[in-house]
Copies of this chain bind each other. A is one copy, B any other.
């Protein structure tokens, strides 16, 4: 998640030291692994792959040290799979004494298409600083080049800006020191279906590469901890790597950094200091409740529950106090928008109502665990909101939920009403059947985040075959186009789509895209 753009620089925040201390107590140790490239490649036209760019082997990695490079020469190393970590290489000069510095441009690419793009051409609105590129001057050779910044990549392009007419360079011992908080290799999802096997494998790699000091959003670029992604990563993690400590750390971070008015920001920065962002999204704040409930269900950890229940309560109370009318109608606030999906081309009110119901149910579960006598109040509120939704937002005739003043029918409303279990299982089945008939194939949605919720709603509503088909059509299509890890954004109708005005800053390993590993284990095992 990185698309939302808000500036709220007048908001004041808490920094709860006790909770931050607990976040610190759960900093994960990163597993480090040295990876060497499998081959030297060049880019080629490949019509099957994203943007028609593929790679072709030009030499074994072992031949590298025999190769010599001068002005404008270009070398591409292929590490064989996606990794997150540091890059190192040894460099020496060959020929006359080194009578000028060596200048190199290094580019780190997750996909071959990035190798053929020139960052000079980037005019998108997202910061240019996200380009994974470095210009390095080496005044003395031989040298061990170790780049201090971390990158997310499979390919490294090294362009020799210049040596001098009197000498060239050769490279040897390139290596990647891969980092991840994911330990061990989870049991692969059991299936005979080759594509589902591959989807599982790519999903596991995606999750592992986003598991760092916190659950990152996308290690190429947006390394923050976002709530929406955390919720999905945590669900995937319980079923696979099961690093509960990392989830606990992230919960404490959000718990510690709420605004003075109680609301949890949509994301927090971890470096150089713990800093809450000034972006607020209603559904993201509410998902704190959901993540806490999911966590408790997997851990029975009453300490975390007691520490963070008050923070969760504030998210629910903020909505109850400010947004719920006496008849159960929700009145949204444009300064506290519902995210649901990047697209702003559909009305999000009904999906927002469903998410409030979804979170409120999990909150009541948490309250019940603590035998609190406030439960009655929240249950009444839940009933009222639910009744209002059923009576006013459901169109009997069409068998679908409507949203907003124009009674718009969109996929997000149906999906979230199913996930919030507003209707009976039979009604949900009918609702999603209607949705498949009338709203499929999905149009205008480019996030695996929204596709996740659609797929989950299909499974929840018992439309298992349709769920499997969507897994294959959507995540399978990324694999067909060359994905080693799942992408931040993907619209099957427009594979080169970017929300940023240029795909150069797209993240091709993104947390919220890893969820097939969760969906398959939960619904297909």
Q: How far is the CA of A137 from the CA of B108 in the complex (A)?
A: 14
Known: A103-B127, A129-B164; 20 extra A-B contacts, CB below 8 A, are A8-B96, A71-B127, A71-B128, A96-B278, A97-B277, A97-B278, A98-B269, A99-B127, A99-B269, A100-B127, A100-B129, A100-B221, A103-B131, A126-B164, A127-B163, A127-B164, A129-B161, A129-B163, A134-B135, A137-B149
The answer to whether B139 touches A126, judged by C-beta atoms less than 8 angstroms apart, is no
User: Taking CB as reference atom, which chain B residue is nearest A221?
Assistant: B100
A138 to chain B: closest residue by CB: B129
A165 on the B face (CB < 8 A): yes
Q: Is the CB of A162 within 8 A of B95?
A: no
User: What's the minimum C-beta distance from A107 to chain B, rounded to whole angstroms?
Assistant: 12
Among A2, A98, A137, A140, chain B packs the most CB atoms within 10 A around the CB of: A137
A101 at the interface (CB under 8 A from B): yes
Residue of B nearest to A269 (CB): B97
Assembly CA distance A131 to B101 (angstroms): 10
Q: Which residues of B contact A130 (CB under 8 A)?
A: 100-101
Query: Closest approach, in angstroms, between the C-beta of A243 and any C-beta of chain B?
Result: 24
A234 within 8 A of B: no
Q: A100 to chain B: which residues have CB within 8 Å?
A: 126-127, 129-130, 221
Residue of B nearest to A71 (CB): B128
For residue A377, CB closer than 8 A to chain B, the reply is no
A194 within 8 A of B: no
* Nearest residue, chain B, Cβ from A5: B165
**How many chain A residues touch the partner (CB < 8 A)?**
46
Contact between A7 and B277 (Cβ–Cβ < 8 Å)?
no
Contact across chains for A7 and B162 when beta carbons are under 8 A apart: no
Copies of this chain, complex-wide, total 2
> A272: shortest Cβ distance to chain B, in Å?
4
- A166: Cβ under 8 A from any B Cβ: yes
Query: Smallest distance from the beta carbon of A120 to chain B beta carbons, Å?
Result: 8
A275 in the interface (beta carbon within 8 A): yes
A163 surroundings in chain B (CB, below 8 A): 127, 129
Digitize A67-81: 1 where CB-to-B-CB distance is under 8 Å, 0 elsewhere. Answer: 000010000000000
Within the complex, what minimum Cβ distance (angstroms) separates A442 from chain B?
A: 30
Q: How far is the CB of A266 from chain B (nearest CB, A)?
A: 11
Per-residue CB contact flags for chain A residues 217-232 toward chain B (1 = under 8 Å, else 0) read: 0000110100000000
Q: Are B95 and A129 in contact (CB under 8 A)?
A: no
In A58-112, the 8 Å CB interface with B consists of 71, 95-103
Q: Report A246-299 residues with CB < 8 Å from chain B CB.
A: 269, 271-272, 275-278
Compute how far the CA of A97 lies from the CA of B9 in the bound complex, rounded to whole angstroms.
9
7 residue pairs, one from A and one from B, having the closest CB atoms: A100-B127, A128-B162, A127-B164, A101-B129, A103-B129, A140-B272, A135-B135
Asked if A125 is at the interface of the complex by the 8 Å CB criterion, the answer is: yes
B275 engages A97 (CB within 8 Å): yes
Interface residues of A in 112-166 (CB under 8 A from B): 125-131, 133-135, 137, 139-141, 149, 161-166
